[in-house]
């Protein structure tokens, strides 16, 4: 599988596994680090190494993560990495239980998105930080058909992939390249009453 492309999910069980907020935090931490041990990831998200290992192992069973055989290890220590850079799915292909599973997943994601945004605000203003100055938020009300919502999701996903693939994860930064930092991007689209 091309590690730069998202993994196509065809089992609702994979989506259900991400409804656990700890798994989502671990997944995002692995994505940020590229490769890390359960102990390192546990420190990143504020949990125990044993609990992190359990959830990392479960995500590996579902094919979302895998052991990083190329990472240096000591003793029984294992490094974990994403099996692909993210995942995508078509709700229509996942069966009748998909809508409720997706809503649980979206709730968990939204909680983490709010946490990340709050961390950003709590870190305090720094006018000299060009990345902080470049941060933005955007929202708008759109009137769309269900087909147009699906098209919007596909086009936004393609745009995000285009930008993600401009700076693939590398073990060592390129001093000649312009500075790049991890930027957390989240988008929600949902019907209003």
Task: Find out whether 110 and 190 touch, Cβ atoms under 8 Å.
Answer: no
For residue 158, the Cα-to-chain-centroid distance in whole angstroms is: 15
Q: Is the pTM of this model over 0.85?
A: no
Average pLDDT, the chain: 83
| Band of residue 7 on the pLDDT scale cut at 50, 70, 90 | low
Task: Find out whether 7 and 86 touch, Cβ atoms under 8 Å.
Answer: yes
Instruction: Give the model's pLDDT for residue 1.
Output: 44
Domain ranges of the chain: 7-137
Place of tokens 């590690």: 3
> How distant, in Å, are the alpha carbons of 76, 93, 102, 114 from that of 88?
32, 12, 12, 22
**Which is it for strands 79-82 and 36-37: parallel, antiparallel or unpaired?**
antiparallel
Give the C-alpha separation, 150 to 155, whole Å. 9
Instruction: Give the residue with greater pLDDT, 52 vs 187.
Output: 52
Give the C-alpha separation, 123 to 183, whole Å. 15
* Range in 51-60, 148-157, 169-178, 183-192 with the lowest mean pLDDT: 169-178
* Range in 37-51, 68-82, 141-155 with the lowest mean pLDDT: 68-82
Instruction: Give the model's pLDDT for residue 26.
Output: 94
Alpha helices in the chain (DSSP H): 12-17, 21-33, 38-45, 49-61, 98-122, 130-134, 146-164
Task: Find out whether 79 and 36 touch, Cβ atoms under 8 Å.
Answer: yes
Mean predicted confidence (pLDDT) in 121-140: 88
Phi, psi for residue 79 in degrees, rounded to 5: -100, 145
Instruction: Give the residue with greater pLDDT, 91 vs 182.
Output: 182
Q: What is the CATH number of domain 7-137?
A: 1.10.10.10
């Amino acid at each position: 599988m091309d590690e730069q492309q998202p993994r196509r999910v065809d089992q609702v069980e994979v989506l259900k596994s991400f409804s656990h907020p700890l798994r989502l935090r671990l997944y995002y931490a692995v994505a940020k680090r590229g490769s890390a041990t359960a102990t390192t990831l546990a420190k990143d998200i504020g949990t125990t190494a044993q609990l992190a290992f359990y959830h990392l192992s479960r995500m590996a069973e579902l094919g979302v993560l895998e052991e990083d055989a190329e990472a240096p290890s000591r003793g029984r220590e294992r490094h974990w990495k994403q099996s692909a850079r993210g995942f995508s799915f078509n709700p229509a292909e996942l069966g009748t239980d998909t809508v409720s599973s997706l809503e649980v997943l979206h709730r968990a994601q939204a909680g983490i998105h709010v946490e990340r945004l709050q961390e950003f605000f709590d870190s305090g203003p720094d006018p000299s930080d060009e990345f902080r100055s470049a941060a933005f938020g955007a929202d708008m009300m759109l009137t769309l058909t269900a087909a147009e919502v699906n098209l919007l999701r596909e086009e936004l996903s393609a745009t995000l992939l285009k930008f993600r693939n401009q700076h693939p994860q590398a073990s060592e930064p390129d001093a000649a390249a312009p500075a790049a930092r991890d930027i957390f991007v989240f988008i929600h689209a949902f019907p209003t009453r």
